[in-house]
Chain A
Amino acid sequence: MNVRLKSIIPHFMMMLFGVLIVIITPFQVEVSNSSGEGPRYLYYFTGGLIILLSLNTCILNFIKIKKEKAENEFTEKQQKKSYSRVILSLILILLWILTVGIVGFITTTVLFIAGLMLILGERRLLVIVITSIVFSLLTFYVFNNLLRISLPAGFLL
């Protein structure tokens, strides 16, 4: 894809976000007879500003950027390799969020920490087991017992 076009895509998406805000404001921001349009002004103002500023950035980027195709391809390959760990970590966090209330804090967190250590490349079973169990139990004790903050409970620990 043309480098110039690629450089403006994020800012174009931001501009679309601004347009979305302006469009959905009348449906998502209630007004009453006494308030008038007051509650909506913030969203119209900021949405409009996002549109204008993003458009400005798109235009400036389009004018300024020079073609760096070869360097960008190399950078892209390198980035794809590193992104996979990040994506896996994100999926693991989502699984933690979905299961912690069902399974229980300690069990889910042990599995979460262990899973994350595996993603990061740790293969020593003893280190994984000790770290995940110690962290989960310590965190549970500090928050639940010392700070008296109830952590999610489930059918397991």
Chain B
Amino acid sequence: MSLDFLTQIMASVFEWNNLIFMFVGVLFGMIIGALPGMSVTLGVALMLPFTFGMEASAGILLLIGVYCSGTYGGSLTAILLKTPGTAASAATAEDGFAMAQQGRANEALNIALYASVMGGLISGIALLFIAPQVASFALKFSAPEYFMLAIFGLTTIAGVSGKSISKGLVMACIGMLVAGIGIDPVSGTTRMYFGLNDLLRGIDIVPVLIGLFAISEMFNQIERRSTQLALDTNFKRKPFKIRQLKEHVKTIVKSSFIGTIVGAIPGTGGGISAFISLNEAKRVSKKPESFGKGNPEAIAAAESGNNGTTGATLIPMLTLGIPGDVVTAVLLGALMIQGLAPGPELFTNHGDLVYTVMIGFIVVNIMMFFVGKFMVKYAEKITLIPSIILYPSVLGLCLVGAYSSNNSMSAVVIALVFGVIGYILPKYGYPLAPLLIAMILGPLAETSLRQSLVFSDGSFLIFFQRPISLVFVVLTVIMIGVTLWGKRKRKLIEE
């Protein structure tokens, strides 16, 4: 890259209209990400028509702004209301909300913001400097590798199951059962739809999220007759100091790398990365029992893990023309609308645009920091709103959000059913996070297992014969061993 070329790119990125569109995208994305029922995909899709008449760079940067800040935005409501706006923020909800109840909402929101920005920046740097290398690694993934990646991700269940791994596994089984409803992805036959057309298309994760976390929490608050969300009513808002972040830097960097690697693999996403990062942070923590009860380390890990995927998911899209997830599929559509064909030739034919997008991605994350700082300043006040006004509003928003996820009342019914499940089962020690993790990873695990067994004529040796798959086998065994040993050690200490 010559100096002239770099100067040209920087001039393009910092043109006024590009900066304005990036800002609009960041602001819009943050609000959309925070609203329950609104996905980042919806936000990007809503903005897509506006890009038709724009220059290619402005349009793509607008959509990237929505994408990055939408991924972060889910943490705002996850922390303040235990209502994750996106699946990727579900990992933040438990510890974030606990901190909000302890009157530490400001600290939680700031840590989420810094972690998200750093995760995005690290994946942006990976996008800029090592995109082709990461893309070629991601291309090596086939069904056996996907299966072992999913199994590795599922080992996080042991970490989030609390005291009883049995109950965590039961919830994971339920998650897999629910995820399997609809059409079997391999054979195309129907499963467990009971003749209801609404179930034929499967159960969407968004209403499940809303029900499991938000509606159930509102029921819990109503049961407890709490007068406001923040239990510590005498807290004084302590300004967040950047040195509070110092102890979390190692976790943030590690989780960002996890997010970058996971994000580069097509078909994964922020949700998987967030839970893997969270589990890893808990594994190495000196106080793993504090996770789930308001440990800022959990937020740092989950948020940097989930935003760490944002730049990485653009790698297979830009370099190979392979969309990593639904959002990048919409971004791919946006590029094609502009007359650009993603793939190896994009770098040679439109190198200036590609590098404008890559550097613009980094600028978007920096912009997200300032917009996020503004939002955080006022958002934490939500915890002080009287319950009489807040709980009906949140419940109303949950119902509307669930409806909006696919414009159907069946989604509201699903949200309510899972709200009841999320309210009742934890009372008997059944944790909710494993259900969500299994819903995200279960379909990937099942489909890739069946595909792998077709390739290998039914032999399980295929998972040990392929190098990347074998690495994940070893990592999985280590992870299970370490988690079980850690639990045993803690149990002995307690006794």
Query: Is B truly associated with A?
Result: yes
Let me know if B409 and A30 touch, CB within 8 A.
no
Main secondary structure on B side of the interface with A? helix
Q: Given the known inter-chain contacts A38-B450, A42-B176, A53-B170, please indicate yes or no for A135 contacting B393, CB distance below 8 A.
A: yes
User: Quick check: is B263 within 8 A (CB to CB) of the other chain?
Assistant: no
Q: Is the beta-carbon distance between B170 and A35 smaller than 8 angstroms? A: no
What 1/0 mask marks residues of chain B from 123 to 150 whose CB sits below 8 Å from any chain A CB? Answer: 0000000000000000000000000000
Chain A residues, Cβ within 8 Å of B164: 57
Chain A proximity of B180: nearest CB distance (Å):
5
Residue contact A149 to B407, C-beta cutoff 8 Å: yes
**Whose C-beta in chain B lies nearest to the C-beta of A123?**
B388
Is A90's CB within 8 Å of the partner chain B?
A: yes
Question: Quick check: B186 and A147 within 8 Å, CB to CB?
Answer: no
Q: How far is the CB of A7 from chain B (nearest CB, A)?
A: 9
| A109-B180 Cα distance, complex, nearest whole Å | 33
Stretch of B323-331, B355-363, B397-405 with 4 or more beta carbons under 8 angstroms from chain A? B397-405
**B46 and A151 contact, CB distance less than 8 A:** no
Q: Is A54 an interface residue (CB 8 A)?
A: yes
Q: Which residue of A is nearest B443, CB measured? A: A42
A2 / chain B contacts, CB cutoff of 8 Å: none
Q: For residues 367 through 389 of chain B, which have their beta carbon under 8 Å from a beta carbon of chain A?
A: 387-389
Q: Are B177 and A49 in contact (CB under 8 A)?
A: no
| A72 close to B (CB within 8 Å) | no
8 Å CB contact of B392 from A30, A46, A82, A116: A116
Given known contacts A97-B412, A101-B409, A143-B400, A116 and B189 CB-to-CB distance under 8 angstroms: no
Distance in angstroms between the alpha carbons of A143 and B169 in the assembled complex: 38
* Contacts of B174-209 to chain A: CB distance below 8 A: 174, 176-177, 180, 184, 186-194
- Taking a contact as CB atoms under 8 Å apart, the answer to whether A113 and B187 are in contact is no
Contact check, B392 vs A11: say whether CB atoms are below 8 A apart: no
Partner of A121, one of B173, B388, B403, B428: B388
Distance of B449 from chain A, by nearest CB (Å): 9
Q: Which of B222-230, B246-254, B290-298, B340-348 contacts A (4 or more CB under 8 A)?
A: B222-230
Q: Are A10 and B180 in contact, with the CB atoms below 8 A?
A: no
> How far in angstroms is the closest Cβ of chain A from B264?
28
B224 touches A82 (CB 8 A): yes
Task: Name the residue of chain B whose CB is nearest to the CB of A147.
Answer: B46
Of A93, A94, A101, the most chain B CB neighbours within 10 A belong to: A93
A44 → chain B closest CB, angstroms? 11
- Residues of chain A within 8 A of B188, CB atoms compared: 32
A85/B223 in contact, CB under 8 A: yes
Interface membership of A14, Cβ < 8 A:
yes
Chain A residues within 8 Å of B396, by CB: 109, 112-113, 135-136, 139
Find out whether the CB atom of A120 lies under 8 angstroms from the CB atom of B223.
Answer: no
Q: A46-B176, A89-B222, A148-B46 are in contact. Are A120 and B404 (CB under 8 A)?
A: no
**A7 to chain B: closest residue by CB:** B428
Taken together as a complex, chains A and B put the C-alpha atoms of A83 and B404 apart, in Å, by 29
The answer to whether A21 and B413 touch across the interface, beta carbons within 8 angstroms, is: no
Within 8 A of B (CB), among A107-125: 109, 112-113, 116-117, 119-122
A114 to chain B, nearest CB (A): 8
Contact A83 B170 (CB under 8 A): no
The answer on a CB contact under 8 Å between B187 and A34 is: yes
Which residues of A (121-135) have their CB < 8 Å from a CB of B?
A: 121-122, 127, 131-132, 135
Q: Pick the contact of B166 from A53, A86, A152 — CB < 8 Å?
A: A53
Nearest to B185 among chain A residues (CB) is A39
Q: Does B395 contact A (CB under 8 A)?
A: yes
Q: Counting CB contacts under 8 A, is A43 at the interface? A: yes
**Is B82 in contact with chain A by the CB < 8 A criterion?**
no
Q: Are B177 and A96 in contact (CB-based, < 8 A)?
A: no
For A28, what are the chain B residues with a Cβ–Cβ distance below 8 Å?
191-194
B-contacting residues, A1-46, CB 8 Å: 10-11, 14, 18, 21, 24, 28-32, 34-35, 38-39, 42-43, 46
- A-B contacts, 16 of them at CB < 8 A, read A29-B190, A34-B187, A39-B191, A42-B180, A43-B177, A46-B176, A53-B170, A82-B223, A86-B423, A89-B395, A90-B219, A93-B395, A116-B395, A117-B389, A131-B393, A135-B396
* Given A109-B400, A135-B393: 7 more A-B contacts, CB < 8 Å: A14-B170, A35-B186, A53-B169, A57-B166, A109-B396, A120-B392, A139-B396
List residues of B whose CB falls within 8 A of some A CB: 38, 46, 164, 166-167, 169-170, 173-174, 176-177, 180, 184, 186-194, 218-219, 222-225, 387-389, 391-393, 395-397, 399-400, 403-404, 407, 409, 412-413, 416, 420, 423, 428, 446, 450
